[in-house]
A and B are shown apart, each in its own frame.
Chain A
Amino acid sequence: MANQTQAGFLPGFETTFITRSELSDEGLKAIQERLNGVVAQYGGELVLSEDWGKRKLAYAIAKETRGHYTYFVYTGKGDVVHEIERNLRLNDQVLRFLSVNLDKEFDQESFKKARADQQAAAKRREEEREARREERMAMMGDRGDRGERRHYAPRHTESTETASSEE
Chain B
Amino acid sequence: MAYNREDKMDSMDQGDDKDSRRSPSFHRKKGCRFCLDREFVMDYKDVRMMQSFISEHGKITPRRISGNCADHQRKLTSAVKRARNLALVGYVSSGHFGH
Please report the C-alpha to C-alpha distance between residue A24 and residue B90 in the assembled complex, in whole angstroms. 27
Contact mask B46-63 → A, CB, 8 Å, 1/0? 111101000000000000
Question: B87, A96: Cβ atoms under 8 Å?
Answer: yes
* CB-nearest residue of chain A to B86: A98
Please report the C-alpha to C-alpha distance between residue A15 and residue B92 in the assembled complex, in whole angstroms. 24
Q: Which residues does chain A contribute within 8 Å of B51, judged by CB atoms?
A: 163
Query: What number of residue pairs across chains A and B have CB atoms under 8 A from each other?
Result: 62
Residue B18 is within 8 A (CB to CB) of chain A in the complex:
no
Q: Which residues does chain B contribute within 8 Å of A127, judged by CB atoms?
A: none
Number of interface residues of B (CB under 8 A): 28
Number of interface residues of A (CB under 8 A): 30
Question: A122, B5: Cβ atoms under 8 Å?
Answer: no
Residue A121 is within 8 A (CB to CB) of chain B in the complex:
yes
Question: A166, B94: Cβ atoms under 8 Å?
Answer: yes
The interface stretch among A56-64, A80-88, A103-111 is: A56-64
CB proximity to A under 8 Å, residues B1-21: 2, 5-6, 9
The interface stretch among B24-32, B37-45, B69-77 is: B37-45
Question: B2, A159: Cβ atoms under 8 Å?
Answer: yes
Given contacts A16-B86, A67-B87, 4 further A-B contacts (CB under 8 A): A55-B88, A58-B98, A125-B40, A136-B9
14 pairs, CB–CB < 8 Å, chain A vs chain B:
A58-B88, A58-B90, A58-B94, A58-B98, A59-B92, A59-B98, A60-B99, A69-B86, A96-B87, A100-B82, A118-B41, A152-B9, A156-B5, A160-B2
Partner-B contacts on A (CB < 8 A): 16, 18, 55, 57-61, 65, 67, 69, 71, 96, 98, 100, 117-118, 121-122, 125-126, 132, 136, 152, 156, 159-160, 163, 166-167
Leading 9 A-B pairs by shortest Cβ distance: A58-B90, A57-B87, A121-B39, A58-B87, A59-B98, A118-B41, A60-B99, A98-B86, A167-B47
